[in-house]
Amino acid sequence: MKSNLKIVMKSYLKVVMMLMLMSTVMSSCHTEINAVVSIACVNAGNVSVMSYTSTIVVKKGNKSLDYEETVEWTSDNPDVAEVDSNGKITRKSPGKATITVTLTVTASDGTKESASSSCTVTVAPQPPQPITMTTSKSGLVSLGVMGSGSVTVDWGDGSAVETKTVSSSSTVFERNYSSASLRTITLSGGSITNLFCHFNDLTSLDVSSATSLIALFCYNNQFSAASLNALFGTLNSNENEKSIYIGGNPGTDACETSIATNKGWTVNKVAF
């Protein structure tokens, strides 16, 4: 009986040793890839660049293997935020988008493994930009505004701002400057459809925020051809009939009116 038991035990130990040997051999034949990648969450302005960090270990048994790594950036909402192959984010519109970086590791024997990390990017609405204009006039500067809502005028000389409710009838804002000095006047708020700013010795005007504007009276100012071209570049492209009056400016005859007409504006060069 004891002899038989010894034989059984020896056979059992042989089997256990063979299994352990097979496990060791199989383990030494298996390529292990451990990859961890992490990404930092950011809030995007106009353009942001995201970065990632990674930890990669590639082994076959006790031997380290060479490997290659590739990175892919994706956005689940490109209408809000786009991301390119370098992780550069471009703001498109207010909202949220999930940005994901995927790291793929390929060992020298062809074994592949991927790891990814994501974060949410929040694109905040841009604050409304004012209409801006510059003048060096000494004396009365008068602005007429038609539209809706509350419009605030900052005269750019440290005086108190003026706020008025505008309507389909012209609302007048006036400031009498005591001396000639370059100033920037800003109009903010409301929905402006008609702007009267003639005879104010204006040298620049930016109406890019006035998306409802359909009539702009800026004749008899001091706009050069370059200034008028810059102004045309800020005009909106809404589908309404739109007119701009530029007569009596130094640059009236030399300006590129096609910049405005290509946006659907009728350009009137008559001086009043």
Q: How many CB atoms lie within 10 A of CB 193?
A: 18
Q: Cα 64 vs. chain centroid, distance in angstroms?
A: 44
47: pLDDT confidence band, cut at 50, 70 and 90?
Answer: low
Q: Cα 250 vs. chain centroid, distance in angstroms?
A: 37
What local confidence, expressed as pLDDT, does residue 43 receive? 59
For range 85-96, the mean pLDDT: 86
Rounded Cα distance, 154 and 192, in Å: 16
Phi, psi of 146 (to 5 degrees): -125, 145
DSSP label of 238? -
Q: How many CB atoms lie within 10 A of CB 21?
A: 10
pTM beyond 0.75: the answer is no
What local confidence, expressed as pLDDT, does residue 162 receive? 96
Q: Percent of the chain having pLDDT more than 90? A: 57
Q: What is the CA radius of gyration of the chain?
A: 35
For range 158-166, the mean pLDDT: 96
What local confidence, expressed as pLDDT, does residue 57 receive? 80
44: pLDDT confidence band, cut at 50, 70 and 90?
Answer: low
Q: 207-218, pLDDT tens digit by residue?
A: 999 999 999 999
The candidate with the shortest Cα–Cα distance to 224, out of 197, 199, 205, 207, is 205
